[in-house]
Amino acid sequence: MKILAVCGNGLGTSFMLSLNVNKVLKDLNIDGECKNMDLASAKTESADYYIGSPEIMEQLEDGNKKVIPVVNMVSQNEIAEKVKKHILEAE
């Protein structure tokens, strides 16, 4: 499973988020990898899921992409909760 952590320029916020998403994936035994990317590139990059702040997810959403909005980029609790809701329970 490919997950993209997205932020405004793909270097800071999204990297920090990807660190925590990868920890959560491991904890939940989900076979997948999270990479980070900027918003403009992410629009044309295919992935199973996109994760990032609600504002960024709103701009990425095009009706086909599966987006996961998170408020706290470093909270493993929130990320785990969202991953469970959007990935595990949706499948």
Residue numbers at the binding site for another protein (CB under 8 A): 7-9, 11-13, 15-16, 19-20, 39, 52-53, 55-56, 59, 71-76
- From the list 3, 7, 17, 87, the catalytic residue is 7
Q: Which helix (H) or strand (E) holds 24?
A: helix 13-27
* Beta carbon nearer to another protein, 3 or 73: 73
* Beta carbon nearer to another protein, 46 or 72: 72
Closest of 51, 23, 83 to residue 91, by C-alpha: 83
Q: Active-site residue 34, yes or no?
A: no
Q: Count other Cβ atoms within 10 Å, centred on residue 61.
A: 13
Q: Is residue 75 classed as helix, strand or coil in its secondary structure?
A: coil
Q: Look up residue 49 and give its amino acid.
A: Y
* Beta carbon nearer to another protein, 77 or 90: 77
Catalytic residues: 7
